[in-house]
Amino acid sequence: MSSKETSSATGVDPQTLARLAGGLAHELKNPLSTIGLHLALMDEDWHDEEGVKARRTVKTVGILKYEVERLNGILEDFLRFARTDSLETRMGSLNQVVEQVERFASPEADRLGIHMRSHLDLEMPEITLDSGRIRQALLNLVINGRQAMEKRGNGTITLITRHDDTWAVVEVVDDGPGMEEDTLARCFEVYYSTKGSGSGLGLATVRRIVEAHGGLLEVQSAPGKGTRVSMRLPLKSESQDG
């Protein structure tokens, strides 16, 4: 279905549907924020009280606060997913984006005993990209790799850039547990997640961002052999070719 076609179920083109869904998610965040605020106040009021009723109330409020935070996280993921059709592109450095992600993600990785490193193509030319969206996609991949190795408490995540005549490529490679064949086949499906608290939109959002740039996303993984995700972005946009 092209961007000009309409959904047979709704009669609305996909871009309009995405805007409507994004608007709905944004509106839902406001009442959730209000609920979260009042739960925090209730927790404060009951936290120092004694007795069975107080303990039960504090426990219930804690459960509700957790669920509100989880819903907020799901809505944030959904908003990021819905907004990937609109890019603000300009010429920029892919290496610079990778360096920013490495600096941002390294402190948490260090805390977990996970080493981050990068191998950058020093002759990488500038490309047309939405640096904020590519940074978001890379960070999603780094977080996925980090979460895969958290329980083990060690490992390495490597960020690699390279290019050929057609593509600028950035790879996120981890030496974590890898994915089973069934998980690998479904990992980019919307709402598919092997994590109990995951929204199932992280990798789907990465793919939408890459494809919105006219790029390709590839993943290689096997149990016990880690995971390699490659983002291929065109060296030249259509407007540049013209």
Maximum mean pLDDT: which of 36-40, 84-88, 123-127 = 123-127
pLDDT in tens, 182-238: 877 777 675 556 555 544 556 778 888 898 899 999 999 888 888 999 999 999 765
Please give the pLDDT value at position 174.
92
Task: Provide the whole-model pTM.
Answer: 0.66
Please give the pLDDT value at position 157.
94
Q: What residue type is 151 in one-letter code?
A: K
Q: How far apart are CA 6 and CA 15, in angstroms?
A: 9
Please give the pLDDT value at position 31.
83
Q: How far apart are CA 85 and CA 69, in angstroms?
A: 26
Closest CA to 6 of 74, 14, 203: 14
Tell me: pLDDT of 114 over 70: yes
Q: Assign 4 a pLDDT band (cuts: 50, 70, 90).
A: very low
Which residue bears the tokens 């609920």? 35
pLDDT in tens, 37-80: 888 888 888 888 888 888 888 889 888 888 888 777 767 666 66
Tell me: pLDDT of 99 over 50: yes
Maximum mean pLDDT: which of 120-124, 150-154, 184-188 = 120-124
Q: Assign 12 a pLDDT band (cuts: 50, 70, 90).
A: very low
Q: Assign 5 a pLDDT band (cuts: 50, 70, 90).
A: very low
Tell me: pLDDT of 14 over 70: no
Closest CA to 119 of 135, 134, 99: 99
Closest CA to 170 of 134, 128, 222, 212: 134
Please give the pLDDT value at position 171.
96
